[in-house]
A and B are shown apart, each in its own frame.
Chain A
């Protein structure tokens, strides 16, 4: 119970509420939801739908960052997965083959990163930079430089369909969130990942298979990126190797940071990373409907992010604790949901 109330006191939730309120002030119909063509329809749903790819990336990124690593290649891996799926369905393969191949390609990219980081002992930022640069080239090779447009109903359904009234990308992101959270918190997996992130050597000495976990984290990030890539391709009914997932690795890292996971490894929270992705998208959608000239987009975004990060800095937490002495356990709480 105290843990639950702790979640609602977190600065991320306050930030999300603040951003949503700001959107509502800019655009009074922001919270309006209508039912159309068997699905919910409204700006709030747009936020979740557009935020889903980054949320999925952030789930994988959280696992990597918790091991004290980082994966810069997820945007490029999205482009590769999109290219693989689109070229296969255009070549006449059934959707199930295309989706499986795209997921396998993502997994393979992740394994490649994992091997570079563990067995060659490369710095994660350098190891994944390789694929960030080369991966987009690879995707362009697969699509031969053009946008591969398809009309396969299954792929389009993954990107734009609806399930129980919610857009398919949202359903996929929620399912992934639930599965991974259960997996890392109902088993010892989460604890072991945190142990590897804090001190790899010590973790190995107590019998944790550190290398396997590291490779697993990168492979999982690649797999998540492939899911996001298929969604993005399905959404626009085509694989755009030049632009699919471009710079999204940065949004994913930002989502994880807003979620409070330390870039130095150790403690992590997948639900809060997803919340971070939703905050970023709520901000993007707010800027789009505000009517501000596009020249201001990045400045406004940067300003809000700085505010959020200040809000959750130790300094702010201390000030908050001093103002409300009775609740002083809440902001210092170490266990994450």
Chain B
């Protein structure tokens, strides 16, 4: 996109935003973004969404890939401070060891926003943190299932994430909270599928065998979509219909689960949005232009998607994001 286009776009946005008395937007501002790296499809999607959001708002985004190393992130943040950027976004790779570099940013009066992970540091060192609520994700999935089965008896098998990982612990807890009120819905088996497709398939095969060929299973709850995609194949191999004989509910909203929904093989997914930058830029806008200090913890929406939400459209929209 040429400078001319950018300016024109930024101008158009500025006109739009000026109508609200709030602020003049972030156009022309320089924001540094220190990303962890690209360890998963979701992370790649987060990077491309952040770049797209910045472009939409006319922000000059300085992007730094830390290749999973904290020292690279600290170097990048110091670099941003030296360049005198207007704000810094960080997706921290680990929770500790940030006090020094964040103090430097604070002394330079540069607001820092944390994306999708928290850190162990005094709260005054960063403006706000934007993250999803993993417990809520599980709860939304559980509540959907309770609503979907009505008062029918429903035995659920659970595919857990990697044992001991925080999404696995929180999504399990959330789902249990979600179904706690319904006596007819219960978890009968729970095993780890390590967040991968092949383990998800293998574990589901075992569940089906152990529950009389799958006749006793009403639904599968998977801590991520990848394991659900594997489980769907296992259900098909056993001669059952995923989505009908066994309901499939999972979390993340990656493109392939929407492809399964189009085929009628998945019933619901809860989105872990890759758009952490949207709320972050909104908070920065309010802070830089209006002096409004945002809440310390901004929780992103855990949106539920079902086949009624145009899965083909969602698939097409997400396919290009690098998942």
Contacts and interface: CB of A to CB of B under 8 A. Distances in A.
Given A145-B41, A232-B198, A46 B209 contact: yes
A289 B40 contact: no
Contact of A37 (B189, B196, B233, B239): B239
A46 B206 contact: yes
B72 interface: no
A149 interface: yes
A235 B209 contact: no
Contacts of B256: 147, 149, 238
A27 B207 CA distance: 11
A244 interface: yes
Interface in A26-55: 27, 29, 36-37, 41-43, 46, 50
Interface of B: 38-41, 44, 160, 163-164, 189-192, 194-198, 201-203, 205-207, 209-210, 212, 226, 229-230, 233, 237-239, 256, 259, 322-323
Contact of A42 (B189, B196, B209, B259): B209
A288 B40 contact: no
Interface in A198-244: 232, 235-238, 240, 242-244
A147 B201 contact: no
A146 B44 contact: yes
Interface of A: 27, 29, 36-37, 41-43, 46, 50, 140, 144-147, 149, 160, 232, 235-238, 240, 242-244, 246, 284-285, 288-289, 291, 293-295, 297
A236 B40 contact: no
A335 B236 CA distance: 46
A160 B198 CA distance: 12
B197 A236 contact: yes
A289 B40 CA distance: 30
Contact of B198 (A149, A235, A291): A235
Contact of A297 (B192, B198, B212): B192
Nearest to B203: A288
A213 B38 CA distance: 40
Contacts of B229: 236
23 contacts: A27-B209, A43-B206, A50-B202, A50-B205, A145-B322, A146-B323, A147-B41, A147-B256, A160-B237, A236-B233, A238-B256, A240-B196, A240-B198, A242-B39, A285-B206, A288-B202, A288-B203, A288-B206, A289-B209, A291-B210, A293-B190, A294-B163, A295-B163
A297 B209 CA distance: 19
A56 to B, nearest CB: 15
A172 to B, nearest CB: 17
Contacts of A146: 41, 44, 322-323
Contacts of B198: 232, 235-236, 240, 243-244
Given A144-B322, A236-B201, A294-B160, A29 B209 contact: yes
Nearest to B43: A145
Majority secondary structure, A binding face: mixed
Nearest to B162: A294
A293 B164 CA distance: 12
Nearest to A285: B206
Nearest to A39: B237
A246 B197 CA distance: 12
Contacts of A37: 239
> Which of A29, A285, A294 lies at the interface centre, i.e. has the most chain B CB atoms within 10 A of its CB?
A294
Contact of B210 (A27, A243, A294): A27
B196 A243 contact: yes
Contacts of B163: 294-295, 297
Nearest to A243: B196
A167 to B, nearest CB: 10
A46 B205 CA distance: 8
A289 B212 CA distance: 12
B197 to A, nearest CB: 4
Given A160-B237, A240-B196, A288-B202, A145 B209 contact: no
B189 A240 contact: no
Given A232-B198, A294-B190, 6 more contacts: A145-B38, A146-B322, A243-B197, A288-B203, A288-B206, A288-B207
Contacts of B191: 288, 294
Contact of B44 (A46, A145, A149): A145
A36 to B, nearest CB: 6
- 4 smallest beta-carbon distances between A and B, as pairs: A288-B206, A294-B192, A236-B197, A243-B196
